[in-house]
Amino acid sequence: MTTTMTPAPPSAAPGQSPQLRTRKLPVVASLGIAVAAVVLAAALVYGAGIGGTALVVALAVVFYLVGLFAASNAVEGRRQARNRTWSALIHSAFVLALLPLASVTWTLVSKGIERLDGDFFGSSMNNIGARDPNGGAYHAIVGTLEQVGVATLITVPLGIACAIYIVEYGRGRFAFTIRFFVDVMTGIPSIVAGLFVLAFWILIVSPYFNDGRPGYSGFAASLALSVLMLPTIVRSTEEMLRLVPAPLREGSYALGIPKWKTILRIVLPTALPGIVTGVMLAVARAAGETAPVLLVAGGGAAINFNPFENNQSSLALFVYQQAGDASRYAPARAWAAALTLVALVLVLTIAAKLLARRNRFSR
């Protein structure tokens, strides 16, 4: 009886694992599916006359996902097809979320850059008629910087102190009441804050300092903006303080460091980047408000460097007024002011982030 020996399959070299070969969908196929999806969506939408570019993009994403799943399922199998489709869906959602931002940015830059010149930044609307192409937003820029600056000086210490009390000291019903009213204030419309300052500060308090007459001013606008900024700063600071690890506090207490010094030297510096982000969110909201400034500052065409006397304008109010002006030159001013406002908030945010990062590294 004879036996036959079958040769063993070649083994991998020492230290190497055997290579697994699987079928994979080529990149060219994915690009072809994307192009076909766009063409099909455009033909369907424009051929039937049922929409525009937004509908083409939405349908193209749907067609692409369906086609990608079918092709991947045929080549790679069902499991890999699901994985590839979900990955494509996540990336598509990211791109769709960026499209409105890119559209707004492009619209602001393309329409606002026309009036970004020295006259726009160096002059006001004082003595500017409907047929005059000149005139700028210098008075509005000054008003925005002063109003938001004063509101920030009022709100940031108060908001951070309130958050520290809630997280570090607050216990029982009083802390719950503070947190409840902060949550309620988060949803207050801006015009309600303006009406509150109008009824309290303008009509009751300011006559004592203005010979019995109500005094509209940029400071009154800052008070209204402070009402809007406070809940954002309190809630964001509270969440950041809660994220500070407890062992940092415990280690400080174990070394005999008092609680107040632990908060100042350990807790706040650790949470500083998140606190700065919350403050800049509040600043961005305050800088874009129109109703409170219109109610309690009144607006104005002349330059006013004193926030405590007379009417004062802001960039948001300037955009609102120019957008409703009948002059042919007003829309260009409105777009330029809107672009200036966005750029101003962006510069302040970057500067605050860099300052917070530098302070963190210096420690």
Q: What angle do CA 285, 240, 260 make, to 5 degrees?
A: 115
Q: Are 220 and 320 in the same domain?
A: yes
Q: Are 140 and 105 in the same domain?
A: no
Per-residue model confidence as pLDDT tens for the chain (363 residues): 444 454 545 555 555 545 556 778 888 888 899 999 999 999 988 888 887 888 888 889 899 999 999 998 888 888 888 998 999 999 888 988 888 888 889 999 999 998 888 889 999 998 888 888 888 899 999 999 999 999 999 999 999 999 999 998 888 888 889 889 988 888 889 999 999 999 999 999 988 888 888 889 999 999 999 999 999 999 999 999 999 998 999 899 999 999 999 999 999 999 998 899 899 999 999 999 999 999 999 888 889 999 998 899 999 999 999 988 888 889 999 999 999 999 999 998 888 888 777 655 555
Q: Which of 51, 83, 113 is the last residue of a domain?
A: 113
Task: Work out how many domains the chain is built from and give that number.
Answer: 2
Q: Are 346 and 229 in the same domain?
A: yes
pLDDT score of 273: 87
Counting every residue written for the chain, the total comes to 363
pLDDT score of 116: 87
Q: Are 67 and 201 in the same domain?
A: no
- pTM tops 0.75: yes
Distance CA 227, CA 176 (A): 20
Q: Are 125 and 60 in the same domain?
A: no
In a domain, 362, yes or no: no
Q: Are 139 and 91 in the same domain?
A: no
pLDDT score of 1: 43
Q: Are 300 and 325 in the same domain?
A: yes
Q: Are 204 and 256 in the same domain?
A: yes
pLDDT score of 227: 93
Q: Are 336 and 260 in the same domain?
A: yes
In a domain, 16, yes or no: no
In a domain, 11, yes or no: no
Q: Are 190 and 309 in the same domain?
A: yes
Q: Which of 113, 135, 160 is the last residue of a domain?
A: 113
pLDDT score of 146: 94
In a domain, 8, yes or no: no
- CATH label of the domain that carries residue 261: 1.10.3720.10
In a domain, 133, yes or no: yes
In a domain, 13, yes or no: no
Q: Are 194 and 316 in the same domain?
A: yes
Q: Are 273 and 312 in the same domain?
A: yes
Q: Which of 54, 80, 113 is the last residue of a domain?
A: 113
In a domain, 279, yes or no: yes
Three-state DSSP string of the chain? CCCCCCCCCCCCCCCCCCCCCCCCCCHHHHHHHHHHHHHHHHHHHHHHCCCCHHHHHHHHHHHHHHHHHHHHHHHCCHHHHHHHHHHHHHHHHHHHHHHHHHHHHHHHHHHHHHHCCHHHHHCCCCCCCCCCCCCCCHHHHHHHHHHHHHHHHHHHHHHHHHHHHHHHHCCCHHHHHHHHHHHHHHCCCHHHHHHHHHHHHHHHHHHHHCCCCCCCCHHHHHHHHHHHHHHHHHHHHHHHHHCCCHHHHHHHHHCCCCHHHHHHHHHHHHHHHHHHHHHHHHHHHHHCCCHHHHHHCECCCCCCCCCCCCCECCHHHHHHHHHCCCCCCHHHHHHHHHHHHHHHHHHHHHHHHHHHHHHHHHC
Supply the range of the domain harboring residue 67. Answer: 24-113
